[in-house]
Amino acid sequence: MKTKWTAQAGSCVFALFLFITACGDRGSEQPTPPPKANPQSGAQRTMAIQVPAAVRDRVRIDPVTAHLVPDIVTAPGEVALDLNQVAKIMSRIEGQVEKVHVQLGDRVKPGQPLAAIGSLQLDQLIEEYLVSKAQLDVAENVYRRTEKLVADKVVAERRLVEDRGRFIEAQARHQHVREKLLNMGMTTGELRQLEHGSHQEGHRYTLTSPIAGTVVAQNVVIGQGVAPGNELFEIVDTSRVWVFANLPIEQARKFKEGDVGTILPKGGEPVTAPLTYLALVADEATRTIRVRFEVVNQQHTLKPREYVNVQLTIESPPTLAVPVSALTMVNNVPGVFVQREAGYAFVPIKTGREGGVWVEVQKGLTAGEQVVVDGVFDLKNVLLKEHIGSGEGG
User: Average pLDDT, whole number, for the chain?
Assistant: 84
Give residue 235's pLDDT: 97
Looking at 39-53, 120-134, 147-161, which range is the least confident one? 39-53
What's the predicted TM-score (pTM) here?
0.62
SS (H, E, C) the chain: CHHHHHHHHHHHHHHHHHHHHHHHHHHCCCCCCCCCCCCCCCCCCCCCECCCHHHHHCCEEEECEEECCCEEEEEEEEEEECHHHEEEEECCCCEEEEEECCCCCCEECCCCEEEEEECHHHHHHHHHHHHHHHHHHHHHHHHHHHHHHHHCCCCCHHHHHHHHHHHHHHHHHHHHHHHHHHHCCCCHHHHHHHHCCCCCCCCEEEEECCCCEEEEEECCCCCCEECCCCEEEEEECCCEEEEEEEEEHHHHCCCCCCCEEEEEECCCCCEEEEEEEECCCCCCCCCEEEEEEEEECCCCCCCCCCEEEEEEEECCCCEEEEEHHHCEEECCEEEEEEEECCEEEEEECEEEEEECCEEEEEECCCCCCEEEEECHHHHHHHHHHHHHHCCCCC
pLDDT band at 382 (very low <50, low <70, confident <90, very high): confident
Give the pLDDT score at 22: 43
pLDDT at site 341: 86
Q: Work out the average pLDDT over 71-89.
A: 94
Contacts of 357 (CB under 8 A, 6+ apart): 323, 324, 325
In this prediction, residue 29 carries a pLDDT of 44
Residue 354: predicted pLDDT: 83
Contact 369, 349 (CB under 8 A): no
Predicted local distance difference test score (pLDDT) of residue 295? 97
What are 114-147's pLDDT values in tens digits? 999 988 888 888 889 889 999 999 999 999 999 8
pLDDT in tens, 165-224: 999 999 999 999 999 888 876 778 878 887 776 555 556 778 899 999 999 999 999 999
Residue-level pLDDT at 41: 34
Q: How many residues does the chain have?
A: 394
